[in-house]
Structure formats: C-alpha cells, structure tokens
Structure 1
Amino acid sequence: MSTAPGTVLLSGIVGSTAYGLAHAGSDIDRLGLFATPTEGLHGLHRPAESHVTTAPDRTLHEAAKWCRLALGCNPTASELVWLPEDLYEVRTPLGEELIAIRRSFLSARAVRNAYLGYATQQFRKLLTRDTTDPATRARAAKHARHLVRLLDQALHLHEAGHNLVRLPDPERVRDLGERIADDPARADRLLAAATDRLDRPGVLPDRPDERPADAWLRRVRAAHWTPTRDADPTG
C-alpha cells in the first residue's frame, strides 16, 4: 500500500465487496480519509485534498473535503462511516468519533439529489450499451446493478435514516440487474417509483446539522498541529 499523504484516520474496503456483489474477478476498492498536518494548511499553496492510487485501488480524501462530500450525501464518500465492522482496516479514535456523528451529515434533500443523480447517471450509461454484444452487455448489467443498489440505499436512508451498505439480498440486485440489461424500461419505472417515494415525507431533516462536523474537524486540526520553529529573521 502506498504511503499516505497524512495521518489516515479511517479507512476500509468499499465497493462491490462491501455491497455483497463481488465476484471472483472483482477488484478490491479501498476508501479512507486523512488529516494533513495542520501547519501545511497555513501556507500559500494548500496540499492536495484527494489522493487516488491504483494497484491497489485506493481513494483518500482529506478530512475537510470528506466532510463536505458527506454533507452533500455523496454516495461513494458517505459509505465510509456506514461500513460493516469487519470491513474497516484503520479506525483511529478520531475515526470512531466521526462514525458516532454520521447521522448528523444526512438530510432529505441531499439524499434525494445525490442518490437519484448517481442512479440517473447509471441509467444513461446503461442506455448507451449495445446489449447484443456479450462484453458490453456485461457492462450494462453492472450499471443496472449499481442503479438498483443506489435506489435501495436512498430509500432506506430516506425512510429509516440508516445507510444500508451491505445489501440484505444481493441476489435480488443481481437478478434485477440482468433483467434491466435486457429491458432498460424496467430501470425507468424503478427511477419513477423511487422518485415518488423520495418526494414523500421521510425521517431525515431538511438540512444537515453541520455543528458536529465542524467541531470534529477542529479537533482534527488541533491534534495535528505541530508548528515548526523558524529562525528569528532579525538575527
């Protein structure tokens, strides 16, 4: 695993493995967040906020960027604090604190916009695939599985206030993905039904509560502040 750009606070295995949709040839995807040294935030040039590597496949977001993504209910970033216990690989005390405040990031509008937006992207990709070709049909089925998974997660968040990362019935998602690949109109109907349910009142607030995230981020900055002692410029 490559050198981290700062102190990794929380990381784990995400993607198809986390959803229960992995097969023998599936990649292992990792996601995490890190704290850059606080002093590095005070200079003219700010350090990079995300680092992506392949072999292994790993994405790391700086703590502040991750918080912004999570407050927007970004489906990919948000799942980091909702993983099954056995999929975490790094859990520091500050990472544990973040898991403890995960519900404060949620809001009805952001869940609706983010999850429906990502699901619609998968639908558009699905429509561009030539399903008469075996290779491209497999990609179409993958897009369809992600569409179903995103809608299931959105509805569970909206109606139960919990992110269902590990799917309770992955075989249903696989089967439905295959059927959608053969008949994309099924996806159009799923999107319409999910949109209708997401437009109804749910358990989430209209807006997220930013205060716990702000307080947590200030604790992160304090914990990673190690100022250097420059020479006295007056000599």
Structure 2
Amino acid sequence: MTGDRSLPPPFDHPHASAQARAIAERGTILRAQVGSGVHGTSIACQDDRDEMGICLEPPEFVTGVARVPAGPAATATVPFEQYHRHTAWDRPGGLANRSGAGDLDVVVYSTRKWARLALGGDPTVLLLLFVPDEEVVVRDGTGAELLAHADRFVTRVAADRFLGYLRAQRAAMTGRSGAHTDRPELVAEHGFDVEFAMHALRLGVQGVELLTTGRIPLPVPEPDRAYLRRLRRGRCRWPRWSRRSTTPRRGWWRCGTAPRCHPGPTARGSTAGCTARTSPTGRPSADARDEGPGRGMRSGPSGGRSVVRWCGGAGQPT
C-alpha cells in the first residue's frame, strides 16, 4: 500500500527541519490515521486529522554519527528521532495555535523511538499496530511484516500506561491537581471538558480490550462508540457517565486482572512473549470466551490490579 509519502514543509521547530523531513519521507514504512477518525468518535466539521508513521533512518543516524538541525535555520543539532508537524502552525500565531477542523497533525517516528514507546505501553503509539486498511496512508513490505508481529509489542506494562493516560485525561477534564484544559468553552457549557471525558472512557474501553484479547479493535465497537459520541456532544451528565464507567455489569470494566502476556522487555531487550489467549484472528479463543471477562486470567506482576479500579475512584469531583 504505497500512498503519498509527502509531509508538510519544514518549520521553525526542533523536530521539523528539512533534513528530518527528508529522512522521514524516504524511510517511511508505515503511516496511518490515529486520531478520532480511526476511533469512530469524530464529529463532522470539528476535528483535525492525526497521523502517525514509522521510518527507517539511515545507519549514521542510528549510530549517532550524524544529527539533524534543530529547525530550518538552526545551527544547533539534535539526534533524529522524529519529524513532527502541525499545519495549524502555518497560521498567524504559529506554535501557539490549536489545531482545528481541516488541520493535519503528523508525527513520523524513527523505528528506534517508536519501538521504545510501544514497548513502554504508550496507548497512542500502540494504535498504529491495529489501524484498519482503509485508514492506512503508507505501508510497505517492512511495515506489513511489523504488523504481522504486533503481539510482540503487547505487554503487561501497557496496563499502567493506559491507567496513567486515563487518569491524566480525567484530571484535565475536571481541572483538578493543577491540570489545564485548552477548551474553556466546553467547561463553560457543560461544567467539564467533554472531550477529555470521552478520551478517558475510550482509554478504559481500549485498555480492557487490549489486556483481554491482545488487540485494540478500531473503530471502537458498538454500543460503546455511540455512548462515547453522545458523551463528547455533551449529552451525558457527569453522574450518568461516571456510574457507567465503573459498573462491571455494563461491560466496561469487567476485565479482572491482567492477562497472561509478557511482563515487558527484559534486560536484554527481548520482546518475545504471549498475549491473552486468542484465536488466529486476534479475537478471544473459545475457552477464554467460555470463561467470560476477567476469569481464568493470571495476576499481573503487581499482584493483579483490577481494571475495575482504573478510573482512580469514581464519583463527582470535589
């Protein structure tokens, strides 16, 4: 699948030099949409487009012999790790601009940095392994081989990372603990940032799915997707969605403990291991389905933290 590899032009940003752009374009092995569009939670005429890619950098940048300029006119240099560009920067205001409808936010990571983030359980980075074909912009033979081994990047480390991201979204939604929201108009209208709320619950849904099946289904399956869209539109009051997010019988948090997947990279950097019991299609195997969510799974390295507790405590903020 060889789509358009071109990226937005360079900009005065440490990871947006012309040389970094050239490396990213020439070496791209995989690039796809990873934002609200791929989750199925976008709202017409409101969302930008988020894309993520992976590139194979030249050997001299892997060894550190070569570096890239820290911007188009910079004399300082930085190691090549990514090309990062928002088209919103092209408008007056530059880097301070918030992306909006029609904007493109794209980052192409070096293979080394992407693998490091993926093995660390980064929720956004892991999405790239499960994006459906219709959302893929570029995928060559190397990218296809990487996707064929997606299970090697799914470890129990992801549990804590999903939990951390969920809590961060929840804190930003309520403004607690010094968290900042850049959408004050949503807080003024609904009493909390409904977009952060939607992302917090989405992370819970996808984290449970990843830890029970070893995959993240995209877009978010129904009926969860419809609920997330209603929440984002401000049609769900705080107590209503808070109760839903923490009620096991609703099917949102009935995961129990972390599955039988590899605990994470070893000291030697091994990524070998297994995910939850799945069939060749990536769905739960028959015995896993018979046992039901949260049953027949071994405890994680921390003694089996229940996913029911991921939200960090439910209820109205104080």
User: RMSD between aligned alpha carbons?
Assistant: 3.0
Gaps of 5+ in 2: 1-6, 9-20, 68-78, 88-103, 273-318
Give the equivalent residue in structure 2 for 1:167: 220
Change (3 A) 1:70 1:188: farther
Q: Which of 141, 145, 149 is the equivalent residue of 2:194?
A: 141
Q: What is the alpha-carbon distance in structure 2 between the residues aligned to residue 58 and residue 188 of structure 1? A: 35
Give the equivalent residue in structure 1 for 2:28: 8
Change (3 A) 1:160 1:42: closer
Give the equivalent residue in structure 1 for 2:127: 79
Q: What is the alpha-carbon distance in structure 1 between the residues aligned to residue 230 and residue 252 of structure 2? A: 22
Higher mean C-alpha deviation, range 186-195 or range 2-11:
186-195
Q: Give the drift of 1:211.
A: 4.1
Scaled by the length of structure 2, the TM-score of the pair is: 0.58
* CA deviation vs aligned residue, 1:28-70 (integer Å, no higher than 9, x gap): 1111011111123334454320221011310111100000111
Does 1:36 find its partner at 2:57? Answer: yes
Structure number with the higher helix fraction is: 1
After the TM superposition, which residues 63-212 of structure 1 pair with which residues of structure 2 at under 5 Å, given as runs?
A: 63-108=111-156, 110-128=157-175, 134-136=185-187, 137=189, 140-169=193-222, 170-177=225-232, 178=234, 182-183=237-238, 186-187=241-242, 190=245, 200-207=257-264, 211=270
Gaps of 5+ in 1: 214-235
Aligned residues: 209
**For residue 105 of structure 1, what is the amino acid of its counterpart?**
F
Give the equivalent residue in structure 1 for 2:83: 51
CA contact (8 A) 2:264 2:271 kept: no
* CA deviation vs aligned residue, 1:113-141 (integer Å, no higher than 9, x gap): 011110100110111189xx753346711
Q: Secondary structure of the residue that 1:162 maps to in structure 2?
A: coil
Scaled by the length of structure 1, the TM-score of the pair is: 0.77
Structure showing greater relative contact order (alpha-carbon pairs closer than 8 Å, 6 or more residues apart): 1
**For residue 186 of structure 2, what is the amino acid of its counterpart?**
A
Percent identity (aligned): 26
